[in-house]
Amino acid sequence: MTTAAPMPVPFPFAAIAGQPHLRQALLLAAVDPGLGGVLIEGPRGTAKTTAARALAELLPGAPFVTLPLGASLESLVGTLDLGQALAGHELKFAPGLLARAHGGVLYVDEINLLPDALIDSLLDAAASGVNVVERDGISHRHAARFVLVGTMNPEEGTLRPQLLDRFGLCVQLRNIGDAAERQAIVRARLAFDADPQGFRAKHAQEEAELAAALVRARALVGDAAALPYGDAVHEAVGALCIEAGVDGLRADLVMLRSARALAAWEGSAAITTDHVQRVAEAVLLHRRKPEAEAAAPAPAPRAAKPDGSSNGKDEANSAGDEDWGAMPPEPVGIERVKPLRPLIDRTQAAPKKA
């Protein structure tokens, strides 16, 4: 009889250093799972998986579910329980990973390598909190409220813009360039590997404070009358989204919800423009249009003479701008050439047939 191997002890969230933007984005998504999850871009070894596992431990009784790269759509959303159907001649729903992740964290490594159908179902459930299954002769819906954390390495490909836009927040991690900071992170990891329980005990108080703060912030976000905001907040959100050249209004809505989650996390009485500014980059990073495209001015119309003809000087300048280094046309003389004689003399009569 074989026994299951014990699950590894997670690294404490409170001890994660060197990634402040990652910590903030994950905490905001935990305060308000309706944001649509967090997409983490970055190279290997930047604490992406460690942070996601540590976040689940801060949520009371939260499961941590990993979506395998080769998972099928049925294993994700659920499907018909064939065993029950064959044995009892009844249709019964078999829950998938979305049901298992309810109330916890659903982690997807290398999400950019998943089929689009799986990503669509993931993002639909993450944004709505409900999984709806209409297939295999069954119609079923169940709660699926979880914190979606997806990671990807941009060197291995990216997601389509339509899918990127549906992620609430995005964080782009970099390699740590400060020598002292790198050494502190390595020392902390070695200390954890040598004595996981002892290391966790040193951060137990801070972990408990983070968990309690999450409970308070979630309750505050759930109160529709709490955390008011005025016109200045709306103006700041609109200005930032227009400047980034985003498509649609999803960025505006996510930015307002993120600012509200940050205000709840800090226990503020109202949402301010400072909250908006501090969440703006995570909201706009994956939605911002390329700077060259956003900043490119429209071509000025060519000047025309009163009679409608174009200005020759403007045309020359325009041509010079479009084709730098082009040589001006030169006149070429025409030479008279000797006419060619046809191979067959058409004036001669064709020979008669015998």
Nearest to residue 165, comparing CAs of 31, 283, 45?
Answer: 283
The 10 Å CB-count burial string (b at 16+, else e) for 198-223 is ebbeebeeebeebeebbeebbebbee
What is the C-alpha separation between 106 and 118, in angstroms, rounded?
13
CB 137 within 8 A of CB 7: no
Catalytic residue of the set 44, 250, 278, 346: 250
In sequence order, what are the residues at sequence separation of 6 or more whose Cβ sits closer than 8 angstroms to the Cβ of residue 63? 56, 100, 101, 102, 103, 104, 105
* Residue 124 contacts residue 164 (beta carbons within 8 Å): no
- 250 belongs to the catalytic site: yes
Distance of CA 118 to the CA centre of its chain: 15
Any idea which residues carry the catalytic annotation?
Answer: 250
